[in-house]
Amino acid sequence: MSPNEPPAVSTSDQTAADGNLLTASCPIPITDYKEIVLAHGSGGELSHRLISKIILPQFTNELLAPMHDGAIFSLGNERLAFSTDSYVVSPIFFPGGDIGKMAVHGTVNDLSMCGARPLYLSVGFILEEGLPMEDFWRIVQSMRAAADEAGVQLVTGDTKVVDRGNADKIFINTAGIGVVPKDVNIHPARAQAGDKIIISGPIAVHGIAIMSVREGLEFETEIASDTASLNGLVQDILKACSDVHVLRDPTRGGVTSVMTEIAQSANVGILLQEAAVPISEEVKGACEILGLDPLYVANEGKLIAVVAPDDAEAALAAMRNHSLGGEAAVIGEVVSDHPGFVVMRTRVGGTRVVDMLSGEQLPRIC
Amino acid sequence: MSPNEPPAVSTSDQTAADGNLLTASCPIPITDYKEIVLAHGSGGELSHRLISKIILPQFTNELLAPMHDGAIFSLGNERLAFSTDSYVVSPIFFPGGDIGKMAVHGTVNDLSMCGARPLYLSVGFILEEGLPMEDFWRIVQSMRAAADEAGVQLVTGDTKVVDRGNADKIFINTAGIGVVPKDVNIHPARAQAGDKIIISGPIAVHGIAIMSVREGLEFETEIASDTASLNGLVQDILKACSDVHVLRDPTRGGVTSVMTEIAQSANVGILLQEAAVPISEEVKGACEILGLDPLYVANEGKLIAVVAPDDAEAALAAMRNHSLGGEAAVIGEVVSDHPGFVVMRTRVGGTRVVDMLSGEQLPRIC
């Protein structure tokens, strides 16, 4: 079938898996979702479904298959990581950051989560007609400052303008290239029973910072986004440990969505200790007001490391010695029970299964 | 000044050049353009102004400075090209292609214009809530087919969804990585007096295809976009020539904008022969109806090669032997007169200076 012909309507959930892709019909049962909904961008269950049913079957190859934060491949005598993210956060300026800063941090972090040393970024701007020139200029300045701080270079770019009403002020895509050191082998599927799970600091800060602005909430202390480039922190962790198994930044979908992805990738169980998860009083209070579970709220300047038990102490110490990891904590471990599932031991002593975000908690968080 | 503080208003055109960037005020005189206008995305004069005043001063480094279609740098023992483009074309399906196909072709071509062999692409989708799932699926299929045809792999991606009314159906960013062969040194500044200018085929096809759909024009023969991946054609040209100086695809802003860029980069004059520029009768007729100068209209599957006179015949033959270059033609030459300017010898025998597109001829052409 030519791509310009409309596909036949199908209610089958399985056609994409049959290998005969160009003759298959639209593999998401359109009786369920005939249209894109916000939750397809949540980082949770519907995002995964969209990716696994529509995108992966067409793009599948040995590099994309790992569902990592980026692709890793060899070119010449180097192993490279390559990653991309688009940023559509609203508002474009918020306490602690702006869309430009996030666009640099985010791709630097995706590369870092592959264990790579980020080097070069590309930038694609989509501007809405009417964007104040000074806003654009502030954003570009902010990207430069973030790139300088992370030690990366913005080397190539593109600017498109769309007519008023067909975008929302500014969207930014960044893609990045980094070099993966020879002895580093970081991958979601490497989590194994016994590994310790360490988070670099208090959770849910970015999501609550954005939500507070949108809802006009005021707290005694302003909650500012934790957006930051984590490549320095990652370098310190890699230096301190003999073998880091997994690194992930719990952005869209929060800690539980990322943990579930790892549990599924590695086919292991994960046991989290609710009481061990660091969270500030302000953020906890805001989550209560807004009716949000902080474990599903997006973070920007935090990472989760999964390391062998022998490495746990060194990893924790390395994080705590870094300015972005002062409140790092061991929050759980990988277990051989309940493979594919994340179980939380609650403060009161019970356990509950936690899952990926199933709807759209907070659109346009990043 | 912190990026979160508003910059002081300035009417000076020079502040960005003073090197003291973080204390400078917004370097485009805001009395001229306080807001982004469509022409900032035209590929013409205002695009150049936006890039040179706002973006380049912040991003400047030895890799970005050449204003090439991509950045070229060494990693390990390889020379790599890295490029990005966002696609916002409207309508998303049009005769001869769709936004997905263009998004693959465009980045493949940008890499090819650096002389690189394109290998890996990233894809960033920004989807508007409400996009029909089948449209998305057709676009993803189309990207896969285009990638297969060009011999590149889609290896990493990202999907964001924005609320209805804050985007227009779908925007796609692709970034790409390619390898530049050791003996290839292609660069706009390498054009030199005596070089021949060769175009791979008839101009203005993509722009007229899009415009015809938007204006509801009907012609005896449907005008279909010429969007195509040019990496195969480039490989053939490189094989046939001893030293290709410049390659460019005349997309936004058309042939004259690209020629002016090259004249300015290399500080040479360019003399074009209007009668030698290939154009189909249908496209010429459509341009007359629409009041457009075809030399400013966007192309997608065409390239311009600037080669030493000794290479011209071989380059032309290589193009004509390729399915995408059957109507290739020498359209002019590089001269030592009028450096920085493009002069056209018209059909009637006179000459006129042609310049970059100064306004926005056709928004959202790519």
Whole-angstrom distance, CA of residue A275 vs CA of residue A66: 32
The predicted-structure confidence for B154-176, as pLDDT tens digits, reads as follows 999 999 999 999 999 999 999 99
Q: Which domains, and CATH codes, for chain A?
A: 1-65 (no CATH), 71-179 (3.30.1330.10), 188-354 (3.90.650.10)
- pLDDT of A61 reads 67
Of A36, A141, A157, the CB nearest to B161: A36
Who among A55, A141, A156 is closest to B83 (CB)?
A: A156
Among the partner residues B58, B145, B360, nearest to A141 by beta-carbon distance: B58
pLDDT value of position A30: 53
User: In chain B, whose CA is at the least distance from the CA of A155?
Assistant: B64
- Which residues on chain A are in Cβ contact (under 8 Å) with B78? 75-78
In chain B, what residues touch A106 (CB-CB under 8 Å)?
Answer: none
| Residue of A40, A98, A124 lying closest to B127 (CB–CB) | A40
pTM, whole model, 2 decimals? 0.90
Q: What per-residue confidence (pLDDT) applies to B61?
A: 66
CB–CB contact A36 B128 (8 Å): yes
> In this structure, what are the phi and psi dihedrals at residue B329, rounded to the nearest 5 degrees?
-155, 145
pLDDT at B52: 83
**Regions of chain B where pLDDT drops below 50:** 1-23
What is the spatial distance between Cα B355 and Cα B296, in angstroms, rounded to a whole number?
9
Q: CA gyration radius for chain A?
A: 20
- What is the ipTM, given to two decimal places? 0.90
SS3 A84: strand
Helix pair A281-290, A205-215: axis angle to 10 deg = 50
pLDDT of residue A8: 36
Cα angle value B222/B224/B226 (rounded, 5°): 155
Helix H or strand E encompassing A94: strand A93-94
Contact residues, chain A, for B41 at CB < 8 Å: 127, 159-162
Name the closest residue on chain A to residue B40, using Cα atoms: A161
The one-letter amino acid at A203: I
Contact between A180 and A323 (Cβ < 8 Å): no
Neighbours of A157 (CB within 10 A): 25
Considering only the beta carbons, identify the residue of B47, B55, B122 that sits closest to A175. Answer: B122
- Position B106 scores a pLDDT of 97
- Closest partner CB to A35 (pick from B77, B80, B130): B130
CB contact under 8 A, B138 and A38: no
A-chain residue closest to B58, CA distance: A144
Contact flag B73-A120 (C-beta cutoff 8 Å): yes
Interface contact flag, A162 B364, Cβ < 8 Å: yes
Interchain CB distance below 8 Å, A64 and B158: no
Q: What residues of B are in contact with residue A177 (Cβ under 8 Å)?
A: 75, 80, 82, 177
Q: Which of the residue ranges A85-99, A275-289, B103-117, B349-363 would you say has the lowest mean pLDDT?
A: B349-363
Beta bridge pairs of residue B132: A35
**pLDDT band (50, 70, 90) for residue A88:** very high
The helix (H) or strand (E) run that includes residue A170 is: strand A170-179
Q: Do B127 and A41 touch (CB under 8 A)?
A: yes
What per-residue confidence (pLDDT) applies to B159? Answer: 93
How many CB contacts within 8 angstroms connect chain A with chain B?
A: 340
What percent of chain A stands above pLDDT 90?
Answer: 73
Taking contacts as CB-CB distances below 8 angstroms, the residues of chain B near A67 are none
- Of B168, B123, B162, the closest CA to residue A366 belongs to B162
Identify the H or E element spanning A311. Answer: helix A309-320
Interface-testing mutation among A10, A137, A252, with chain B (most B C-beta atoms within 10 A): A137
| B67 contacts in chain A (CB < 8 Å) | none
Q: Residue B36 and residue A136: Cβ atoms within 8 Å?
A: yes
Closest CA to A84 of B300, B364, B177: B177
Q: Minimal CA–CA distance to B174: which of B99, B116, B62?
A: B99
- Contact B6/A127, CB-based, under 8 Å? no
Q: Which residues of A touch B54 (CB under 8 A)?
A: 133, 136-137, 140
Tally of CB atoms within 10 A around B304 = 22
Distance from CA of B249 to the nearest CA of A (A): 15
A127 chain-B contacts, CB cut-off 8 A: 36, 40-41
